[in-house]
Structure 1
Amino acid sequence: MTNLDPATLRALADEGNERALDRLADLADARGDVAALSELLDEGSMHAGRLLTRRAVTAGDLLELQRVSDAGYEEAATELARLLDDPAR
C-alpha cells in the first residue's frame, strides 16, 4: 500500500509532480478547504480549478467563478458566462 500522506504529496508536488498536486486538491476538497484549493490553483493545479468551479456553480457564486477564471481555469469563465446568460440556472 502506498503512503499518500499530505507531507509526501506536498514534497512530490514541490518537485513538479502534477498527480501529487491533484491528490492534494482532492484532499482539500474532501475537507472543504477552499483556501487550500485556491492556493493549489495558484500553483497551477487545473484539477483544483475544476473543483473550485464545481463548488462555485453549485453555490451560484459568480464572484468566485470570476476569481477562478482570472487564476487561469478557463472552464470557470465558460460557467460564469452560462450563468450570466441564464440567471435562472
Structure 2
Amino acid sequence: MVDMDDLTELRRRADDGDQDAVDQLVELAGERGDFDELRRLADAGSSDAADQLVELAGERGDLDELRRLAALGNTDAEDVLAELEE
C-alpha cells in the first residue's frame, strides 16, 4: 500500500519528468479508480493515463467522461462511447 508521502514523492518526480514515476502513478490511480489523478496525468501528456481513463469510464458506463475525452480528440473514447450508445 502506498501512503500519502509516497504519492507526494511520486507526483513530484512525475512533475520533474520521471517516466517511471508517471507509470507508477497511472498504475496506482487505475487500481484506485482515481479519475482525478488520471485526468491530471493525461492532461500532462500521459497517453497511458488517457488509456486508463477510457478503460475505467467504459467499465463504469461513464458517458460524460467518455464524451469529455472524445471532445479532446481521444479516438478510443469515441469508439467506446459509440459501443455504449448502440
Q: Please say whether Structure 1 and Structure 2 have the same fold, judged by a TM-score greater than 0.5.
A: yes
TM-aligned CA deviation for residue 47 of structure 1? 1.2
| Unpaired runs of at least 5, structure 1 | none
Number of the residue aligned with 2:3: none
Name the structure 2 match of 1:47. Answer: 48
Q: Alignment identity in percent?
A: 41
- Trace 1:1-80 onto structure 2 (pairs within 5 A): 5-80=6-81
Q: What is the TM-score normalised by the length of structure 1?
A: 0.70
TM-aligned CA deviation for residue 72 of structure 1: 4.6
Contact 2:35 2:53 in 1 (8 A): yes
1:75 and 1:40, CA in 2 relative to 1: closer, same or farther beyond 3 A? same
The structure with the largest helix share of the pair is: 2
Pick the structure with greater CA Rg. 1
TM-score of the aligned structures, taking structure 2 as reference length = 0.72
Instruction: State the distance in 2 between where 1:23 and 1:73 align.
Output: 22
Aligned residues: 81
